[in-house]
Amino acid sequence: MCGIFGYIGKKTNATEIVFGGLKTLEYRGYDSWGIAIKDQRSKIKDQRLIVEKETGKLPNALPKSSILNLQSSLAIGHTRWATHGGVTVANAHPHLDCFKQIAVVHNGIIENFQELKKKLAKQGHIFHSQTDTEIVPHLIEEIMNPSSLSERSESKGENQTSLRQAQAKKEFTTAVREAFNQLQGMNAIVAAYAPSNEIIAAKNGSPLAVGIGKDELFIASDASGISEYTKDVIFLADHQMIILGEKLKLLKLPNGKAIKPEITKLTWHFENTEKGNYPHFILKEIHEQPNVIKHIALAYSDEAKKLAKLIKKAFGTFMLGCGTASYAGLAGTYLFSSIARKHINFTIGSEFKYLEDYVQKGTLVIPISQSGETIDVVEPVEKARKKGATIAALVNVPGSTLYRQADHKFLLGAGQEKAVVATKSFMSMFSILFLTAYTIIDKPQDAKKQLLIAAENINMILKDKNKAKIKKLAEEIKKSEHIYLLGRGLAYATALEAALKIKETSYVHAEGFAGGELKHGVIALIEKATPCIIFAPDDDTYEEIISNAQEVKARGGFIIGIGPKNNEVFDRFIQTASCREATLLGQIAVAQLLAYYLALARGIKDPDKPRNLAKSVTVK
């Protein structure tokens, strides 16, 4: 979830390098940030670490007054998405041991931290935060030197450090390994130690990648932060620890046995995306969607054939995803049913483990993820692999954990998505599934034609006059406490995804419902002037969803129709093209724009980074 970046080498601008790396990774968390550097000033002899931490998003550049502008050849940094403890400077990473020689940044959740913290507190360790992370540097310190802190603290200044080093019972490498072995849960830690000039990392669950440059080493929670410096990368596997110092050494946990690192040569390019003339990345990425859809229509024939072949020969197929990817997967079940007459199972990623008893050798599992790091997808996929399932991943980030887990890799081709709210990645997910469904019945040209119509339709929706219409609608409903969205069949998946866009972008409570569920309780929510968005594609659901709209209007609802045909029941209407199942794409584009303009109308200053959210969810 959080962003980690570290550097060790011969350059003395380690802070600048780490700060730039954190800016690249800020989509992983932006509650707070911090950097620790080794103090290399000649007058300092006790080899300690300097830490600077702040709440909020990273600034565009380090303040000139920052102590981090000191020269250093070792630094680790972190941009946080809060789990344990609120958003405060004290809770921001990195965290230090009592002697400020060990600094730790961490992704994940330490499930037994309370037990460990109580034990360390009894041994004399003083804590300054509410985080689970802070126990790690103290635990490492205690393992290195198990004598009581009260004895050690009798001396002052340089003598204190000398005493500590003289009494150290275990070296830093051993202490980090033993400390990590005590942590329960899915975690990744990066620890820096000033006296030995080392960075050591260990992981179980959360991703870490190490970049190997000339006389320098990098570590990050995402290879995109490393790629501008080197193409030689080691992706740490679970239960591995790596030592970055004068030499690079990879160890297997828990026993510490040395193993040979597998170096991957990055062959893909990570974009350095800028907003250009757009006020926000989300609007820029909405505008990029027609080209994403066109690219899939014109260039993904081979990928669709390969995925179609896997589905045809599979003994049962499961799709899974979280958030936006889950609604793409749900839409896929309708596509494969109505177009290809194929029964494809779908479940939310976090629920898959409760249904995986069906998985066996011959089962095809199709995980869908923008980041490729979502723990609620990565973890059950690994279990499915061990049961003999074939994994065919739809993922946007090459080199990600899911990408490396998969037997068959299908890149979404959406390009880098900087806004936390997913837009063009959803379009890519749906378009690939749509093309695959038609490929199964040997009619890929039908899919290509409809996708190209949909892409052109979105271009029309993005014309200034149409955006102005959607913006005006956002102003009309900006004070609404609730917005309800209705659809049937494939449009039910549309309603769910559209509701998610409104919730996460504008913070308005929005819910998507199947039209047929109205009379089963949902209609009790309708009050006078409640905005109700009706997704009405020109298909066999049209008449029934219009009846639902009339039922809602009879209870005082404010009816907003989105689809190819206007109807007198609609109080407001936004037209989209009719392109079979691909009609969904234009309807979703309208919903994305409505969510964006609704956020602006409600005074939200940065819709790219919604509160409490991060792009990659790497904790449970």
Pair of tokens at residue 562:
């989105």
Give yes or no for residue 194 having a pLDDT over 90: yes
State the Cα–Cα distance between residues 48 and 100, nearest whole angstrom. Answer: 6
At a CB cut-off of 8 Å and minimum separation 6, what does 322 contact?
348, 349, 350, 369, 374, 376, 377, 617
Radius of gyration of the chain (CA): 26
pLDDT digits (tens, 9 = 90+) for 257-268: 999 999 998 876
State the Cα–Cα distance between residues 324 and 498, nearest whole angstrom. Answer: 9
Shared domain check, 60 and 136: yes
What is the number of domains present in the chain? 2
Could you tell me which of 378, 35, 51 has the C-alpha nearest to residue 203? 378
Pair of tokens at residue 50:
């300097």
pLDDT digits (tens, 9 = 90+) for 461-492: 999 999 999 999 999 999 999 999 999 999 99
Give yes or no for residue 527 having a pLDDT over 70: yes
pLDDT digits (tens, 9 = 90+) for 2-28: 889 999 999 989 999 999 999 888 877
State the Cα–Cα distance between residues 563 and 545, nearest whole angstrom. Answer: 11
- Classify 382 in phi/psi space as left (phi over 0), alpha (psi -120 to 50) or beta: alpha
Confidence of residue 591 (pLDDT cuts 50, 70, 90): very high
Q: Which domain holds residue 586?
A: 281-601
State the Cα–Cα distance between residues 395 and 387, nearest whole angstrom. Answer: 22
Stretch 507-530: mean pLDDT: 92
At a CB cut-off of 8 Å and minimum separation 6, what does 48 contact?
38, 39, 99, 100, 101, 161, 194
CATH of the domain at 141: 3.60.20.10
pLDDT digits (tens, 9 = 90+) for 43-75: 555 688 999 999 988 888 887 777 778 889 999
Helix (H, G, I), strand (E, B) or coil at 469: helix
pTM of the model: 0.85
Task: Judge whether 355 and 410 are in contact, CB under 8 Å.
Answer: no
Which residues are catalytically annotated? 2, 615
In-domain check, residue 619: no
Shared domain check, 291 and 259: no
Predicted pLDDT at 113? 93
Confidence of residue 39 (pLDDT cuts 50, 70, 90): confident
Mean per-residue pLDDT of the chain: 91
Give yes or no for residue 152 having a pLDDT over 70: no
Task: Judge whether 576 and 586 are in contact, CB under 8 Å.
Answer: yes
Pair of tokens at residue 564:
């190819």
Task: Judge whether 139 and 115 are in contact, CB under 8 Å.
Answer: no
Give yes or no for residue 155 having a pLDDT over 70: no
Q: What is the DSSP string of 332-364?
A: HHHHHHHTT----EEEEGGGGGGTGGG--TT-E
Burial tier of 551 (Cβ tally within 10 Å: 0-12, 13-18, 19+): middle
State the Cα–Cα distance between residues 345 and 490, nearest whole angstrom. Answer: 15
Shared domain check, 126 and 84: yes
Alpha helix positions (H), 212-300 = 281-287, 289-299
- The count of residues in the chain is 620
In-domain check, residue 498: yes
Shared domain check, 133 and 86: yes
pLDDT digits (tens, 9 = 90+) for 284-299: 999 999 999 999 999 9
In-domain check, residue 138: yes
Predicted pLDDT at 268? 67
Percent of the chain's residues with pLDDT above 90 = 76
Shared domain check, 215 and 295: no
Shared domain check, 376 and 346: yes
Confidence of residue 384 (pLDDT cuts 50, 70, 90): very high
Could you tell me which of 215, 427, 17, 237 has the C-alpha nearest to residue 25? 17
In-domain check, residue 223: yes
Q: Last residue of some domain: 265, 300, 321?
A: 265
Predicted pLDDT at 165? 46
Stretch 143-170: mean pLDDT: 55
Confidence of residue 193 (pLDDT cuts 50, 70, 90): very high
Predicted pLDDT at 533? 98
Predicted pLDDT at 612? 82
Q: 14-23, 301-310, 422-431: which range is least confident on average?
A: 14-23
In-domain check, residue 38: yes
Give yes or no for residue 400 having a pLDDT over 90: no
State the Cα–Cα distance between residues 427 and 586, nearest whole angstrom. Answer: 10
Q: What is the DSSP string of 578-601?
A: -BTBTHHHHHHHHHHHHHHHHHHH
Predicted pLDDT at 149? 56
Predicted pLDDT at 197? 93
State the Cα–Cα distance between residues 15 and 309, nearest whole angstrom. Answer: 50
Give yes or no for residue 323 having a pLDDT over 80: yes
Stretch 185-192: mean pLDDT: 94
Shared domain check, 102 and 38: yes
Shared domain check, 331 and 388: yes
Burial tier of 90 (Cβ tally within 10 Å: 0-12, 13-18, 19+): middle
Shared domain check, 323 and 203: no
Shared domain check, 296 and 173: no
Shared domain check, 559 and 433: yes
Q: What is the DSSP string of 470-489?
A: HHHHHHHHTT-SEEEEEE-T
DSSP for residue 111: T
DSSP for residue 397: S
DSSP for residue 94: P
Confidence of residue 157 (pLDDT cuts 50, 70, 90): very low
CATH of the domain at 295: 3.40.50.10490
Give yes or no for residue 83 having a pLDDT over 90: no
Give yes or no for residue 344 having a pLDDT over 60: yes
Predicted pLDDT at 498? 98
In-domain check, residue 250: yes
Confidence of residue 164 (pLDDT cuts 50, 70, 90): very low
Give yes or no for residue 535 having a pLDDT over 50: yes
Residue with tokens 């992706």: 235
Stretch 194-221: mean pLDDT: 93
Predicted pLDDT at 468? 97
Give yes or no for residue 598 having a pLDDT over 80: yes
Stretch 356-377: mean pLDDT: 92
State the Cα–Cα distance between residues 62 and 59, nearest whole angstrom. Answer: 7
Task: Judge whether 286 and 462 are in contact, CB under 8 Å.
Answer: yes
pLDDT digits (tens, 9 = 90+) for 536-579: 999 999 999 999 999 999 999 999 999 999 999 999 999 999 99
Stretch 120-148: mean pLDDT: 91
State the Cα–Cα distance between residues 184 and 134, nearest whole angstrom. Answer: 15
Shared domain check, 259 and 366: no
